[in-house]
Amino acid sequence: MLINKVEIRSGVYYDSVTLMQLQAALTKLAGIRNAGVMMGTAANRELLEQNGLLDDEARKAQDSDLIVSVQGEDDASVEAALGQVDSLLVRRLASGQQDYLPKSLAAAAQMLPDAGWVLVSVPGRYAAGVARDALRLQKNVFLYSDNVAPEDEISLKKEAAGKGLLVMGPDCGTAIINGVGLGFANKVRRGPIGLVGASGTGLQQVTARIHQLGGGITHALGTGGRDLSRDVGGITARQAFDLLIRDPETKVIVLISKPPSPEVAASLLQDARAAGKHIVINFIGHTIAGESSNLHSVSSLDAAAERGCAGSREDQTRGGGSRHANVLRTRPEISARPFLRRDPGLRNFAHFAGLSTLRLFKYSIKKRAGPARPAGEQRAHNSGLGRRRFHRWPAAPDARQHASAGTPGAGGR
């Protein structure tokens, strides 16, 4: 009979990457069969329940509580594992230390003036404010956090579009820009296929399948799962689609989404039919009528990858040219964007954004209560209730340093 014990830590926060790595480390300990380490959101509690890792105490956990649940062969193994949680956290956090951690986003921007992106991974109630700070500093935003209010998402994306910037997210778990993975991204070869995805797991599956079929990726841009809803209006999807149309290295564009609102779908399809490139569309579970010579609708993720690779081969057969005239009429709010006026291609937009070497900020918040923790943990996360600490990621010349095995992001970020 397996033994299960749960520990609740109140008033602390770690991003989901840290929690998943801690969870993996716990499961490798002697005598441990399973472990769950998550923030106490309703969705996370349900997941723990499904895996037999939730007890009565954990059912009462709040969103700001950290749940550590360990299942093992005997009491001694489980107690030993719980006793190593702090040391495993310190080891994980200390591995990413820099000599100096700025105390504000403005200070971080001064340290990395060429960085064009801010990666936001904080509790949802703080995320919109952090993203607005980034936009004020003229930085694009990779919004990994979830639980952001719909009205905040809309206002952020409208503000970003007006400034010629992108907000990918909220709940954007993956992207690939210039071959470099953000969030959870597979290491895939470069090639002529660009993707826009409102489904993170779908985006990962298609990019991985394209790689398996011998194809390659220019860019894979995430939008967040609500972007193609009627309220949000596909703001980021339209920006991303426009960027890929203008990118000379992208010959085929694949659009992936859960069924969008009819109004947003009609707008995207109109632009797709007018684009001078092969377009593959997979609105998961939704069939599109009226294919054109350059527009292909598919019903599965594997089919999207296969049709994208076929389109790139057709383009190579024609010598890299296009038989379709590019008659896309860009919307005024898109054409006004500074980076499109400076350069029509996403490749050079990415250089403008500082992504030729993937220089970005990772922003995280921790609320801390109770006794002082080890120095390594204090350095990795700011001490003091509600104060903020910024993490700097070093430059990365290729995708190896910032790509993972493609595991979907955990909840509670």
Q: Assign residue 184 the CATH number of its domain.
A: 3.40.50.261
Give residue-wise pLDDT tens across range 234-281. Answer: 999 999 999 999 999 999 999 999 889 989 998 888 888 888 899 999
- Residue 110 inside a domain? The answer is no
Classify 371 as helix, strand or coil.
Answer: coil
Burial of 184 (0-12, 13-18, 19+ CB in 10 A): buried
Same domain, 158 and 290: yes
Least confident of 23-27, 139-143, 155-159, 289-293: 289-293
Residue 252: both structure tokens together: 């085929």
Question: Given this model, what pLDDT does residue 95 score?
Answer: 58
Quickly count: other Cβ atoms within 10 Å of residue 291's Cβ: 12
pTM confidence score: 0.65
Residue 158: both structure tokens together: 């409208």
Same domain, 141 and 174: yes
Residue 291: both structure tokens together: 């294919």
Closest CA to 220 of 251, 246, 255, 257: 255
Classify 175 as helix, strand or coil.
Answer: strand
At residue 63 the predicted structure's pLDDT band, cuts being 50, 70 and 90, is confident
Question: Given this model, what pLDDT does residue 319 score?
Answer: 65
Classify 52 as helix, strand or coil.
Answer: coil
Gap between the Cα atoms of 350 and 175, Å rounded:
13
At residue 93 the predicted structure's pLDDT band, cuts being 50, 70 and 90, is low
Which of 352, 368, 402 is the C-terminal boundary of a domain?
Answer: 352
- Residue 18 inside a domain? The answer is yes
- Residue 61 inside a domain? The answer is yes
At residue 338 the predicted structure's pLDDT band, cuts being 50, 70 and 90, is very low
Question: Given this model, what pLDDT does residue 315 score?
Answer: 79
Gap between the Cα atoms of 261 and 188, Å rounded:
31
Q: Which amino acid belongs to residue 363?
A: Y
Classify 354 as helix, strand or coil.
Answer: coil
Classify 131 as helix, strand or coil.
Answer: helix
- Would strands 252-257 and 190-197 be described as parallel, antiparallel, or unpaired? parallel
| Number of domains composing the chain | 2
- Residue 225 inside a domain? The answer is yes
Residue 59: alpha-carbon gap to chain centroid: 28
Gap between the Cα atoms of 175 and 29, Å rounded:
32
- Cβ pair 231, 212 in contact under 8 A: no
Same domain, 89 and 144: no
Same domain, 85 and 133: no
Gap between the Cα atoms of 388 and 337, Å rounded:
31
Among all chains, which residue has been given the structure tokens 């003229």? Answer: 138
- Residue 403 inside a domain? The answer is no
Residues 6+ apart with CB under 8 A from 70: 4, 5, 6, 26, 32, 34, 35, 78, 81, 82
Per DSSP, 368 falls in state -
- Cβ pair 51, 122 in contact under 8 A: no
Same domain, 22 and 120: no
More confident residue, 361 or 405: 361
- Cβ pair 154, 170 in contact under 8 A: no
| Alpha carbon distances (Å) from 86 to 63, 64, 377, 411 | 20, 18, 9, 21
Which of 306, 336, 352 is the C-terminal boundary of a domain?
Answer: 352
Phi, psi (rounded to 5 degrees) for 136: -65, -25
| pLDDT greater than 80 at residue 337 | no
At residue 170 the predicted structure's pLDDT band, cuts being 50, 70 and 90, is very high
- N residues, the chain: 413
Burial of 37 (0-12, 13-18, 19+ CB in 10 A): buried
- Residue 203 inside a domain? The answer is yes
Gap between the Cα atoms of 16 and 218, Å rounded:
27
Quickly count: other Cβ atoms within 10 Å of residue 80's Cβ: 16
Same domain, 176 and 300: yes
Same domain, 61 and 190: no
- Residue 370 inside a domain? The answer is no
Gap between the Cα atoms of 394 and 388, Å rounded:
20
Question: Given this model, what pLDDT does residue 189 score?
Answer: 94
- Cβ pair 172, 223 in contact under 8 A: yes
| pLDDT greater than 70 at residue 175 | yes
Sign of CA dihedral 18, 64, 411, 102: negative
Q: What is the mean pLDDT of the chain?
A: 77
- Domain holding 42, by residue range, is 3-94
Which of 352, 371, 406 is the C-terminal boundary of a domain?
Answer: 352
- Residue 384 inside a domain? The answer is no
Same domain, 83 and 121: no
> Which CATH number fits the domain that encloses residue 12?
3.30.1360
Same domain, 57 and 163: no
Q: Which amino acid belongs to residue 123?
A: P
Same domain, 129 and 59: no
Same domain, 298 and 189: yes
- Cβ pair 198, 171 in contact under 8 A: no
| pLDDT greater than 80 at residue 326 | no
Same domain, 59 and 131: no
Question: Given this model, what pLDDT does residue 378 score?
Answer: 30
Question: Given this model, what pLDDT does residue 3 score?
Answer: 92
Residue 28: both structure tokens together: 């490798």
- Cβ pair 222, 166 in contact under 8 A: no
Per DSSP, 260 falls in state P
At residue 207 the predicted structure's pLDDT band, cuts being 50, 70 and 90, is very high
